[in-house]
Amino acid sequence: MITLENVTKIYQGGEKEVKALDDVNLQIEKGEIYGVIGFSGAGKSSLIRCVNLLERPTHGTITVNNQDLLRLSPKELREAKRDIGMIFQHFNLLDSKTVFTNVAMPLLLMKKPKEEVKKRVEELLDFVGLRDKADNYPDQLSGGQKQRVGIARALATQPSVLLCDEATSALDPQTTNSILNLLKKINQEYNITILIITHEMGVIREICDKVAVLDQGEVVESGSVFEVFARPKTAVAYNFVSTVMHDEIPESVHQLIRSQGETNQIYRVVFFGEATGDPLLSQIAKHFNVEVNVLFGNITELQGIPFGNLVIQFQGETKEINRVLMYINQQEVTIKEVLEDAG
């Protein structure tokens, strides 16, 4: 559906070159909701603007719906872009036009018949819940309502692909949830492929099937949302995951452990699926001569799969703790030491 092969984007700033994208490769399948996350300056906006050629890449290939966009004639490209809708962070509405006209604009530019335009716009305003706002102007709307108008406008030409450029970053949390639910509804009812760029891992967790982590113009990690949340391979991915999992140990707890003057070892144990219901810690307490202290823990759900995360402290002889670790490694969990010899 969307393929980026070896995409590089270089901006010229006088005598200095800025490489916004560096050999990016992505494969987004039809019907997926795919997220790209990165900090400010990572290259996210450049990437999404390259997908519909608002920015032309310096090198590489961009294929959408089996068409190599860079090889199309200007007329063919205009046709291809009608199949790619885009939602912007700051809405990009025409303040002097009504909600109805804002949504109708892509169809008016295509010189569609008046009745066809009216029918399509009314259908879309019903879909986004703004039928009663058709005659209002953008400055009479809330931020969430403005974004719904932007979404309706992006859907006007019945695209198969929807690009979302930080579509929720200007909204409050409650409004963000309503917009994400609307995007899920669009994906499910219209089978539209959605590409979202964001700096908020909560958006990725809530809506996406897959995610790519962008850092300094490079894709440093990609996979299913579950894989990246459960087993982040890079520091930048781990930092993003931590923002929504809230699994960091406060310094006050570290100080308490150090003050005990004993050898303490701290581990993060991650549980998946059915393993979240297994009495692992109870079994350890029964069969091994160690004390187990749960410092933090939570169970959430990722893509319908239970996902548990515990930060635990073992106290006891090193030999016995090693036996515990061997036992845990035989279970359907992942364990990683986060602090050794804190005493």
| b/e 234-263 (16+ beta carbons within 10 angstroms → b) | eebbeebbeebbebebeeebeeebeeeeee
Output helix, strand, coil percentages for the chain, rounded to the nearest 5: 40, 30, 30
Summarised one tens digit per residue, pLDDT across range 247-279 is 666 677 667 666 655 556 788 888 877 666 678
Answer whether residue 154 shows pLDDT above 70. yes
Residue (of 90, 95, 93, 101) closest to 124 by Cα position: 101
**Domains of the chain in sequence order:** 2-244 (3.40.50.300), 249-339 (3.30.70.260)
Contact 254, 270 (CB under 8 A): no
More confident residue, 254 or 50: 50
Contact 82, 161 (CB under 8 A): no
Report in angstroms the alpha-carbon separations of 34 from 1, 91, 204, 249. 12, 21, 8, 31
Summarised one tens digit per residue, pLDDT across range 308-334 is 778 888 888 889 989 999 998 888 788
Q: Which two tokens stand for residue 27?
A: 């494969």
Answer whether residue 341 shows pLDDT above 50. no
More confident residue, 265 or 176: 176
Residue 342's pLDDT is 40
Q: By mean pLDDT, which of 20-34, 104-118, 294-308, 313-327 is the weakest?
A: 294-308
pLDDT band at 307 (very low <50, low <70, confident <90, very high): confident
Mean pLDDT value across the chain: 88
Contact 51, 4 (CB under 8 A): yes
State the average pLDDT over residues 78-86: 93
State the average pLDDT over residues 17-45: 94
DSSP 71-96: GS-HHHHHHHHTTEEEE-TT----TT
Residue 248's pLDDT is 66
